[in-house]
Amino acid sequence: MASPHVERRLAAILAADVAGYSRLMGADEEGTHAALKVYRREIIDPKITEYYGRIVRIIGDGLLLEFASVIAAVRWAVEVQRAMGERNAGLPQDKRIEYRMGINAGDIIIDGADIWGDGVNVASRLEALAEPGGICVSGRVQEDVHGSIEIGFEDIGEQQLKNIARLVRVYRVRLKGAAKATPALHHAAKPSIAVLPFNNMSGDPEQEYFADGMVEEITTALSRTRWLFVIARNSSFTYKGRAVDVKQVGRELGVRYVLEGGVRKATDRVRITAQLIDASTGAHLWADRFDGSLENIFELQDQVTASVVAAIAPRMEQAEVERTKHKPTESLDAYDYFLRGIASLHSWTKESNDEALRLFTKAIELDPDFASAYGMASWCYVRRKGSHWIVDRVQETTETARLARRAAELGWDDAVALAWGGFALAYVVHDVEVAAALIDRALQLNPNLAEAWHFSGWVRIYLGEPETATEHLTHAMRLSPLDPLTFVAQMAMAFAYFFAGRYDDASSWAEKGVSDIASRTPRKTGISPRTAHRRSKQFTCRAARGGFKGNSAIAPAQSDASYFESKEASSASSA
């Protein structure tokens, strides 16, 4: 018996719903319903008419729309989201009605006024990935729209959507200042993971540094696995102290896996608990507990790392597991001082920087071969110079050179020592070519080290290689997409584009840097509003006003000290 004829056609499908609809209705049912009717009447329906779309179905807060053109669907979504953003601007967060939208293009089945099929299902799953007020589109939509509308796209890689057999490449639409943004690099070929801050289960707030240190060490160990894409510590730690939804973390960081856990330290015993979660589904893939003595702490870290790697890729060669193992020092006391020093650096004050230098120096006294401690001690002098805390320039430059070169000598296989020591040589000592070689070596050892890509970007600017600089800085921002210090990379992008002669792009990135400083300081960066304002003025005084255009002869000399001096304010504190 012949199958009945099924009518099909190609279409652009848009799915939308209201983020937090149940909460809004629970708080104010009548007010929410009335507001939705107003938005439908004044924004949504007129735009549907304008772009020749049609409403397929309405289910509560959800909309399913069909457009004959992908461009029309995206324009409708962008204009509606921008209009909704303007309406919400004066409202408190808990009163805002924000839509999430997903757009797909594909073959659909026609059933009267309704539509069905895989194309519809993908649009619905894309909507679930979108942030409140945001839009996610499939790769096919991005290809059709690219260059036709003044918006930009952020590639978040191939995603496993619920009940969709194939992987779907997904892009986020950038609604603000997106047209000039550099696209994120593709990392879909690699499994991706973020290590969230572990809970301090010791009951002693003084042990917080130890729990944070364990996370940093595990993150670093995972990042040495070349086929993994590992989000940097600075972005992962933006979730510290917050109740988080791992699915949201996966969307915001663009990762497939999330590792979370806890650390308990009591006298000479340590317990590490960890669980690996699939961020797309929320499913727990693996969980375990690791107990041991404090003197075996490095072995416990290795066990966690190896277990995570094995859970992600069970067939991975044992050699790869062995390569991730790294014991930074034989002295547990030196290691404890090192972790305390790292914790002090995150406080962003002169006093905490001085304390960090004291702690790193103490670690070196206990283990004179502790390469990472030398590298981080040299970094304290980068902070001193960038924040204008230097007292004796000659003496401190000499000491920076000694520490950085010792870090490189002892740590030829230590990416942290090479990256931080290398940048100290470039920024404080002005030994740029040697610095570039050390940072390149760090990237060979650990291609997931976001700070090394960031440092390399600045050093390539110093060397007069702006095209390479933008590539490296873009990669750094992808590895740490929520970094509280993203504005420093944005500053660097502006300088790189200026020296490349792309003045409009330089101005755009300058404006991004100023905007980001204003939104993040002082709570998230430790930089006072006055300091931020001074630095942003130095950084953007010409770029934002187009004043670069008459000064294209200005270029970084490889060993010109005056060039480095001019970068102090903009390059400060880029860890």
Domains of the chain: 8-174 (3.30.70.1230), 192-323 (3.40.50.10610), 329-384+394-423+432-440 (1.25.40.10), 448-575 (1.25.40)
For residue 430, pLDDT over 90 is answered with yes
The Cα–Cα gap between 120 and 109 comes to: 9
CA gap 99, 49 in Å, rounded:
19
Higher confidence at residue 162 or residue 459?
459
Lowest model confidence (mean pLDDT) among 103-112, 186-195, 262-271, 316-325: 316-325
**328-352 mean pLDDT:** 81
What is the pLDDT averaged over residues 172-195?
A: 58
How far is residue 168's CA from residue 166's CA, in Å, rounded to a whole number?
6
Spatial distance between the Cα atoms of 504 and 528, rounded to a whole number of angstroms: 29
The answer to whether 377 touches 361, Cβ cutoff 8 Å, is yes
CA distances from 87 to 51, 62, 63, 127 (A): 21, 19, 20, 21
Contact 506, 473 (CB under 8 A): no
Ramachandran quadrant class, 522 (left: phi over 0; alpha: psi -120 to 50; beta: rest): alpha
**Strand locations in 267-308 (E):** 269-278, 284-293
Query: With bands split at pLDDT 50, 70 and 90, how would you rate the model's confidence at 555?
Result: very low
> Are 103 and 135 contacting, i.e. CB atoms less than 8 angstroms apart?
yes
The residue behind tokens 């001074």 is: 534
What is the rounded CA–CA span in Å between residue 83 and residue 89? Answer: 10
d(CA 384, CA 378): 10
Phi, psi of 99 (to 5 degrees): -90, 145
**Distance between CA 374 and CA 363 in Å, rounded?**
9
Per-residue model confidence (pLDDT) at position 572: 34
What is residue 551's predicted lDDT score, i.e. its pLDDT?
Answer: 33
Indicate the DSSP class of residue 41: I
What does the pLDDT read at residue 558? 28
Residue 104's pLDDT is 93
Which residue's structure tokens are 């727990």?
284
What pLDDT is attached to residue 533?
47
The pTM of this model reads: 0.52
Q: What is the predicted pLDDT for the residue at 333?
A: 82
| Phi and psi at residue 559, to the nearest 5° | -130, 25
User: Residue 245 burial (CB < 10 Å; 0-12/13-18/19+)?
Assistant: exposed
Q: Is the pLDDT of residue 195 over 80?
A: yes
Beta bridge partners of 173: 153
- In 3D space, the residue among 427, 503, 486, 428 whose CA is nearest the CA of residue 461 turns out to be 427
Percent of the chain with pLDDT over 90: 29
Q: Are residues 102 and 124 in contact, defined by beta-carbon separation less than 8 angstroms?
A: yes
Instruction: To the nearest 10°, report the CA torsion of 141, 145, 150, 152.
Output: 40
Q: How confident is the model at residue 183 (pLDDT cuts 50, 70, 90)?
A: very low
pLDDT, averaged across the chain: 79
pLDDT at 147: 66
- The per-residue pLDDT for 288 is 80
pLDDT at residue number 492:
93
Of residues 182 and 291, more confidently modeled: 291
426 pLDDT above the threshold of 90: yes
Exposure letters 48-76 (e unless 16+ CB within 10 A, then b): beebebeebeeeebbbbbbbebbebbbbb
What pLDDT score does 541 carry?
46
What value does the mean pLDDT take over residues 346-366? Answer: 90
As beta bridge partners, residue 289 has 273
- Dihedral sign computed on CA atoms, order 488, 491, 497, 498: negative
Four-CA torsion 199, 200, 205, 209, nearest 10 degrees: -90
Contact present, 421 and 407 (Cβ < 8 Å): yes
Q: Is the per-residue pLDDT at 353 higher than 90?
A: yes
- Token pair in block for residue 385: 């110079």
Of all residues in the chain, the percent with pLDDT exceeding 70 is: 81
**Lowest-confidence region among 157-166, 167-176, 425-434, 495-504:** 157-166
Angle between helices 415-424 and 450-462 (to 10 degrees): 30
Query: Of 349, 360, 344, 362, which is closest to residue 208 (Cα–Cα)?
Result: 344
pLDDT band at residue 420 using 50, 70 and 90 as cut-offs = very high
The residue-averaged pLDDT of 541-569 equals 34
The pLDDT assigned to 118 comes to 85
pLDDT at 136 over 80: yes
